[in-house]
Structure 1
């Protein structure tokens, strides 16, 4: 009897520490031959493992077709959660799925990974996919009835709307019951839409209902939801799509209002920090300096000091330091025995700041052209910042060929501190500044400089 009990305990222990695998098959195959597996934790991805993609062929309708296969063994310590298999660094190059102590295998089209995925193993993923298919079909049907009524108020669709509404409710209730005690349960519950019980008669009422009920099913304290892409996707949807305006000024107001709404839902300070950083990175792609500054000033800087990531803040602000709309980073130089600072320079209405070098062939062609062009521009001054390894050639060249400009010598060339601040990686590089030294344009070539100045 004791031996049987011991064997049973050993069996349970072996099962509980079993290694599971993630298998994927993609068709068509890609040039990429690798897959990286991550676990999603908050807004971040934690590396788990990686492997190569192996090319095989299978028969489909009597024809051989190439398929890319991969398998990743999970460590026995792997925790249940949302995971991501990434196979391409740009675009939709990943597959998201759930892991809950069972093997996961799927086939998918790598060009449409989330839309064209079928799970062969994993009861939780099969069930969640079935739910998403069924609820999407019924929800789309309900939306189409509502939109038809808005497009043609003469249509009598009230009773039909109620029928479809009841069907949506039944599907939701069915899957909430089926998924009780499963890992995917909070995702099913959070996916529910709060539809109006009655058909709405105006577009404004319809849009208001979506906006006002958007967060009703979203629980920002649920660890499973937090540690997935679910909530971050919903945040993006709310900030960038639900709150949208064609008017730029109004859009900035809507961004701020939506940010306030989102962050008011997050009580855990560390997660709030992650969401703020995530939003900063999203607005960084469009270089929306106003909203980035707003996020830092209004929210990030008010977090507990121990939660603020100084490196993150420094890097982001430095990366955006020379974007259009920013005050140009200050620097000083000696001119005729005096120290001059960019910030206090006040001898023009506009400035052309150009980083160049006497060892740059493009510069030696463009800089003389710029000098000739600027002779008749009395209200515009040029600040020529030369990136050099020594002073001799620069001194000779500027005295002979470029009189009347402000000349700055930047030794150590690419490693020059000011050049690094301005993120200079090629010469010539142009910045156009107003009298307050705000960056108003970043022309690529001299023709772009001339074109901008001609409009003044």
Structure 2
């Protein structure tokens, strides 16, 4: 499986002849200069390169063959544009209002078709069941009955209508989404664990670039049941072989899944398996190992250079001097943060008297919402305003908000509380 190298290597490669180009046009009133192009590896977005606007047009020359999901991020306005590549030129126009992307007009054939397919899939999931029920009350020989039958037939159409030779990625995505992730009520149409193992083992590289990998793995675990998780994973990894790139990518995704669902026993087991591998490690698994090593108990919490910090003149996290630090990753749109952070606020003066400093890193994207919220928080706050695309998500292995860490005076991790109550209990501040 191919590797996509990040910025430094990519910039060199982009000087060569491009396999295809990505062209994005925006109206003249769109106040954005820089755009960042991403590809996909499993569930991880991979930065390829950056480009500056030329007459409100961004042109990216992609140097190698690539079929899969891509996206473009405009970092200063927090706009994200998703599209696909079938190794052919991509052309997109943006409809913008008040610096926000209001609509995306896909002008190339592949993305136009994919967009129609996605809209059809949404209608199929939301409307088709209702039409099927309504059909029972109308005869096929009536005008309405005929129209109803025709619409049901149209919505029931699947990937079979896509020419695989002309649109290999769209065919791949639609076929496998329908097979492994559709919400069919018919048990006979549900994929078995063996079906999924065969798919994960034999699929081509489009598995990693399709966005299907993680949801298919979750479907695989669900098919095995909660009491057979370890057996299911061992069976899968035995088939894929963790020495292979595919096996390592799947192992990395599984570790992250166990992290998200707080299945600590399984996360520890398979993280240790990854740590003890003696073979060459691929980039995807190496990233998972690094982000988890960054937050192990006793590890020095990696330093972070503040972007626009509030309530401090410090330039970085390590510049803050305190006997202990409470690090909290949060968001103004997080309901759990809404209930937990006021409890921390109520004890903030007591903590400060003990030379305990609180540092909040926000996963917000809306500047106004973030600014209004931190006005009530006297502790140090900072945000990249990039949401889950913030750099510290990967650095500190963040999968949920709020997430807490307690550091000592030397920035070593001495506690990883689950909830604010655990934070206050640690400092006997309840």
TM-score by length of 2: 0.50
Query: Which of the pair has more CA radius of gyration?
Result: 1
**1:366 counterpart (347, 354, 357):** 354
Match of 2:113 in 1: 127
Matched, 1:188 2:174: yes
Q: Please give the residue correspondences for 1:285-324 in structure 2 after superposition, counting only pairs within 5 Å.
A: 288-297=263-272, 300=274, 305-307=279-281, 315-322=290-297
Shift of 1:449: 1.5
Q: Deviations over 1:138-157 (max 9, x none)?
A: 343334457x69xxxxx879
Q: Distance in 2 between matches of 1:229 and 1:126?
A: 17
Q: Distance in 2 between matches of 1:92 and 1:279?
A: 30
Match of 1:356 in 2: 323
Residues 282, 168 of structure 1: CA spacing in aligned structure 2 closer, same or farther, 3 A cutoff? same
Shift of 1:71: 1.0
Match of 2:428 in 1: 449
Matched, 1:84 2:52: no
Match of 1:376 in 2: none
- Runs (5+) with no aligned partner, structure 1: 1-15, 57-68, 150-154, 197-202, 245-249, 323-327, 330-354, 368-420, 434-438, 452-456
Q: Please give the residue correspondences for 1:315-354 in structure 2 after superposition, counting only pairs within 5 Å.
A: 315-322=290-297
Shift of 1:186: 2.0
Residues 221, 211 of structure 1: CA spacing in aligned structure 2 closer, same or farther, 3 A cutoff? closer
- Runs (5+) with no aligned partner, structure 2: 1-15, 300-321, 325-348, 356-404
Residues 134, 210 of structure 1: CA spacing in aligned structure 2 closer, same or farther, 3 A cutoff? same
Q: Deviations over 1:159-183 (max 9, x none)?
A: 99998775455453222xx343433
Shift of 1:51: 1.7
Q: Deviations over 1:174-199 (max 9, x none)?
A: 22xx3434333322322335899xxx
TM-score by length of 1: 0.48
Q: Which has the higher contact order (CA 8 A, sep 6+)?
A: 2
Shift of 1:228: 1.0
Matched, 1:275 2:250: yes
Shift of 1:74: 0.2
Matched, 1:142 2:142: no
Aligned residues: 307
Which stretch shifts more, 123-132 or 221-230?
Answer: 221-230
Shift of 1:273: 0.7
Q: Distance in 2 between matches of 1:31 and 1:293?
A: 46
Residues 18, 270 of structure 1: CA spacing in aligned structure 2 closer, same or farther, 3 A cutoff? closer
SS of the residue corresponding to residue 306 of structure 1 reads coil
Match of 1:174 in 2: 161
Match of 1:97 in 2: 84
